[in-house]
A and B are shown apart, each in its own frame.
Chain A
Amino acid sequence: MSSNNHELNKFPWKHVIGLALSLILTLIALWVVVSLSLPTVATLTIIVLLAVCQAFIQLLMFMHINENHGRGYRILAIAFGFYIAVVVVYGSLWIMWFTV
């Protein structure tokens, strides 16, 4: 979101699109689970990817993560957080399921 003055007076398209996308992605995820009978792994992969897309929508369209004023540091913080989150979740499951 730019804070350029005349930009500010425009209709908030970005937010409306963001909302629409997130509602649609949510419904797709539900549809994949309820109406498609894909193999479990495929279903889970798809819905996790959809969730990640949604996270990006929030970050980019609502949270202004990409605007100026210290963008680099901000992105670093969130990216590192995601890295650790993946390590923690994936690592724990790998360890605690005792399969491979």
Chain B
Amino acid sequence: METTNHTPIEYSTEEGSNKILGFWVFLGAEIVLFSALFSVYLVLHSHTAGGPTSKDLFEVKEFMIETFLLLISSFTCGLGTIELRRHNVKGLVAWLVVTLLLGLGFIGMELNEFITYVTVEHATLQTSAFLSGFFVLVGTHGAHVSFGIVWMICVIIQLLRRGVTPVTARKAFIIGLYWHFLDVVWIFIFTAVYLTGLVL
């Protein structure tokens, strides 16, 4: 338990602190959303209908690089929040841009992975229940990351225009929470999809 004798700027207005709490609650809902996808994926994992299995598809090198990109981006995003609390727009924007680039790298790799599966391995959404589950679970995460990138760009523009105000600070803080959260989801994808896919 930590106490602060200072209220950070993003919490300084009632609206700001309400919205941050609202976002946490939304993340609670997102946990459930992904858990439903995980349960579908895991139930269908063995339903390969004669098509490729997880062991046939997953490449350790590829998914490790994806994982590291996201883990590091979560770190850089966290540094951004520190700069936010120092009211340092430049530092904040710089870290957000780094985060964004790492995120783009991740999305690029994931797209590449999907394209390889579809074109080289003939493993598509329609091939089997297992692959439907795989593409939709991993794709939903990827769609979240892409959405996060667009959102982060909007926040960066607003920060550049208006500086660190209670409103922009709140937005920067919230996009940070979102980004870390997507990292958590990825860790579970890494574990339950990729690593488990090598075992089962």
A–B contact with Cβ pairs below 8 Å: the answer is: yes
- Residues on A with C-beta less than 8 A from B24 are 73-74, 77-78
Distance from B23 Cβ to chain A, minimum over Cβ atoms (Å): 10
Contact (Cβ within 8 A) B187 A55: yes
Is A82 touching B195 in the complex (CB atoms < 8 A)? no
Which single residue of chain A is at the shortest CB-CB distance from B198?
A: A33
Interface residues on A, range: 35 or more
Task: State which of B36, B75, B183 has its C-beta within 8 Å of the C-beta of A15.
Answer: B75
Cβ-defined contact, A19 with B71, below 8 A: yes
Contact with A along B55-86 (1 / 0, CB 8 A): 00000100010011001101101110110011
Q: Are B2 and A67 closer than 8 Å at their CB atoms?
A: yes
- Whether B75 and A69, one on each chain, are in contact in the complex, defined by CB atoms closer than 8 angstroms, is no
Question: Which residue of chain B has its CB nearest to the CB of A12?
Answer: B82
Give the residue of A9, A18, A88 whose beta carbon is less than 8 angstroms from that of B32.
A88
Q: Give B residues with C-beta under 8 Å from A.
A: 1-8, 11, 17, 20-21, 24-25, 27-32, 34-36, 38-40, 42-43, 60, 64, 67-68, 71-72, 74-75, 77-79, 81-82, 85-86, 176-177, 180-181, 183-184, 187-188, 190-192, 195-196, 198-200
A-B contacts besides A19-B74, A58-B184, 12 pairs, CB < 8 Å: A3-B85, A15-B78, A16-B75, A33-B198, A59-B184, A62-B81, A62-B180, A85-B38, A88-B32, A92-B40, A92-B43, A93-B42
